[in-house]
Amino acid sequence: MIAIIEKKKNGQVLSKDEIKEAVMGYVEGSIPDYQMSALLMAIVLKGMNEQEIVDLTDIMIHSGDMLDLSAIAGTKVDKHSTGGIGDKTTLAVLPLVASCGVKCAKMSGRGLGITGGTIDKLESIPGFQTKLTFSDFVNEVNQIGMALTSQTGNLCPADKKIYALRDVTGTTESIPLIASSIMSKKIASGADKIVIDVKVGSGALMKTLEDAKNLAHTMIQIGKKYQKEVICLLTDMEQPLGYAIGNRLEVEEAIKFLKGEEVSKDFYELVLTIATYMVHLGQSIPMEEAKEQVLENLKNGQGYQKFLEFVHAQHGTLYQKERISHKNICATSTGYIRQIHADQLGSIVKELGGGRERVEDQIDYEVGVVLNKKVGDFVQLGEVLMTVYENQKTIDEQRYLNCFEISLEEVETRPIIYEVIG
């Protein structure tokens, strides 16, 4: 293992046998955390070529079981996000897509770095079961058109173990590690077609458009080798997505969208676009027709009804719970919101208990922030910028204020979707 670490540290190409020795040795316990951490850091710093990434992905796929979803009728379409601050898109997209008759069999992960995980968000719903047996998973998809479970059983155990280690060793931001992690899970999970939301900006793993494009092309190439059609949307994460950041708060925002209540423009547009691509792929129909179906099922409430079916099927109970204490953070000047530092807000919510510092940490589902303003909005001195929900820990008000930059000049806003590849 030391020779493998040294080789990658020196920027050399690892053979498939060397990658397999490291990965499977770690899975089986003969290679300790500290050595795997060293190899991961070497990969972060020195990268991998396309063949190494394909080999790593293949080893992860075959480290455990591959799901056979042939018992689910029709085309199975999966959706994934590379993770961003306030990204609760899956919670709104899947019920909407399933209500249009497209089968969604999805496995999701927990938080990674400062980004929240879909499984953590769902576990903020009292009683909600995120660990399904394979037969229950298949039955739920067949009965209601969707199911969402954590990475359970023996599916990609190599990725599951390495993913948890990356989260606590500062090795999350690496195209080879992100691409192999995402695609190993997606291919082993048995989906036919995949839509991937690649986040770009300060609140995402990919900080630049160039890196996001490289990641997208890498994942599309991996998909081709396994005969999987992959579409990647490059989307903005220079500010948090939507208004809410924090597990239960984000679930509530997704519910508001599905109920047809007013939500932020960026969240609304992103959910509609991803849902449209998924229906387009799942039914092999033109984009215009797919968008009509999605909009119709949002307006007539079928998307929300599907969400209720989904929560009920996985033993969750939706009810109004009394809020923990909150405080308002108010603007100290008048002007236009020039920037909201998503990464800083993500770090604060993690510090409050909304994310993990260590693998074994328990999450506080109640904490978080709800923005009152987005980039480009005008704000008056003393007006509320956001509401903060704190529990065991309190954060100095100035740190919240430091997340906002206010300018006297009008601010041009960025598009939520930069580009679609694939």
Lowest mean pLDDT among 31-40, 81-90, 315-324: 315-324
pLDDT of residue 111: 67
Distance CA 103, CA 279 (A): 9
pLDDT of residue 153: 64
Q: Any idea which residues carry the catalytic annotation?
A: 80, 159, 166, 181, 185
User: Above pLDDT 90, what percent of the chain?
Assistant: 85
Query: How much is the average pLDDT of 4-30?
Result: 98
CATH class of domain segment(s) 77-313: alpha beta
Amino acid at 62: H
pLDDT of residue 202: 85
Domain ranges of the chain: 2-47, 77-313, 326-407
pLDDT of residue 99: 98
Distance CA 307, CA 254 (A): 10
Helix, strand or coil, per DSSP, at residue 124: coil
Amino acid at 411: V
Q: What is the pLDDT of residues 243-258, one digit of tens each?
A: 999 999 999 999 999 9
pLDDT of residue 113: 61
Query: How much is the average pLDDT of 66-77?
Result: 93
Lowest mean pLDDT among 97-111, 225-239, 267-281: 97-111
Task: Tell me whether domains 77-313 and 326-407 share a fold.
Answer: no
CATH class of domain segment(s) 2-47: mainly alpha
pLDDT bracket for residue 144 (50, 70, 90): very high
What CA–CA distances, in Å, run from 139 to 65, 134, 146, 275, 384?
Answer: 19, 9, 9, 23, 47
**pLDDT at residue 152 greater than cutoff 80:** no
Residues 6+ apart with CB under 8 A from 34: none
Query: How much is the average pLDDT of 164-193?
Result: 92
pLDDT of residue 392: 87
- 172, two tokens: 């999350």
Helix, strand or coil, per DSSP, at residue 78: strand
User: Which CATH code of 1.10.3720.10, 3.40.50.300, 3.10.580.10, 3.90.1170.30 fits the domain covering 326-407?
Assistant: 3.90.1170.30
pLDDT bracket for residue 337 (50, 70, 90): very high
Residue pair 186/80 in contact (Cβ under 8 Å)? The answer is yes
Per DSSP, 372 falls in state: S
Distance CA 162, CA 164 (A): 5
244-245 and 326-330: which strand pairing?
unpaired
**pLDDT at residue 107 greater than cutoff 90:** no
This prediction has a pTM of 0.91
**pLDDT at residue 272 greater than cutoff 80:** yes
Distance CA 223, CA 196 (A): 11
Secondary structure (DSSP) of 222-276: HHHHTT-EEEEEEEE-SS-SSSEESHHHHHHHHHHHHTT----HHHHHHHHHHHH
Among residues 339, 343, 49, 351, the alpha carbon closest in space to that of 200 is found at 343
pLDDT of residue 359: 66
Query: How much is the average pLDDT of 260-285?
Result: 97
pLDDT bracket for residue 356 (50, 70, 90): confident
Query: How much is the average pLDDT of 254-267?
Result: 97
